[in-house]
Amino acid sequence: MKQAKQTHLFPAFLKLAGRRCLVIGAGKIGEEKIGSLLEAGAKIEVVAPRATDLVQAWARERRIRWHAREFRMSDLSGIFVIVAATSSPRLHARIYKEARRRGILCNVVDDPPHCDFYYGAVVRRGSLQIAISTAGHSPSLAQRLKKEIDAQFGSAYETWIAELGRKREKLFEKAMDSERRKKILHNLASQPSWKQFLRRENRKLQARKHNKNSKKLHSTT
């Protein structure tokens, strides 16, 4: 029996700041999806007859626009990304079909055949993001791998990434050969550079502790 050719997902990180995104459904799952879109700076429209307390609070704060009613096909007008999180498979199928017709990216929660993209399990350390996807085959495996990676990459990476970004900007302000700049950037992001950064941060931490203990000692004498 001939196997169907596997289509690989295209890994990408979307810039959603200022983009109109629609979430259909505002229960606990919808709330989670809305929260992630808020973090990305999206302009969020929510359509649902009812909403969780948090979603209602976001609406009151004008962080999102909540339409407290049933979904209409006209809601898709001008939308960049759709997330459908209702309890109706029939409605989800209709939404996905219309989204495809209009060329809108669509994700139907827990329904891989009706998804143009998947939510990966993400480890975040500031600007560093590591996303894991199993193309919907095993979200449980993605979550397990996330925990392992989360333990591997400590909070110090957030500070280091910010530092690397500042150094990169300064390098691009200087006139130099592109190959030389590339070599410097690779050295800055190397394992020895990371270890040197950790030693420096540890010395800073020890100095802060020493100063704190000195202040306590002086205050008691």
pLDDT in tens, 102-121: 999 999 998 989 999 988 88
CA angle 49, 51, 56 (to 5 degrees): 120
d(CA 122, CA 153) in angstroms, rounded, equals 12
Rounded to whole angstroms, the Cα distance separating 120 from 54 reads 23
CA distances 50 to 31, 106, 196, Å, are: 12, 22, 53
- C-alpha 105/C-alpha 121 separation (Å) is 19
Q: Summarize pLDDT for 136-186 with one digit per residue, the tens.
A: 888 899 999 999 999 999 999 999 999 999 999 999 999 999 999 999 999
Give the domain ranges of the chain: 20-119, 157-214
* Out of 24-38, 54-68, 115-129, 206-220, least confident range: 206-220
Q: Examine the pLDDT at 58 and tell me if it is beyond 80.
A: yes
* pLDDT at position 6: 66
pLDDT of residue 11: 87
Query: Judging by DSSP bridges, how do beta strands 121-125 and 128-132 pair with one another?
Result: antiparallel
Taking the CA of residue 198 as centre, how many other CA atoms within 13 Å lie in the half-sphere pointing to its CB? 12
172-192, pLDDT tens digit by residue? 999 999 999 999 999 999 999
Helices (H), the chain: 28-39, 53-60, 89-102, 139-152, 156-173, 178-188, 191-220
Q: Which helix (H) or strand (E) holds 44?
A: strand 43-47
What pLDDT sits at residue 2?
A: 53
Predicted local distance difference test score (pLDDT) of residue 5? 61
Q: Give which of 33, 22, 38 is closest to 78, Cα–Cα.
A: 22
**Beta carbons within 10 angstroms of residue 188's beta carbon:** 16
Query: Could you name the CATH architecture of 20-119?
Result: 3-Layer(aba) Sandwich (3.40)
Report d(CA 139, CA 135) in Å as an integer.
8
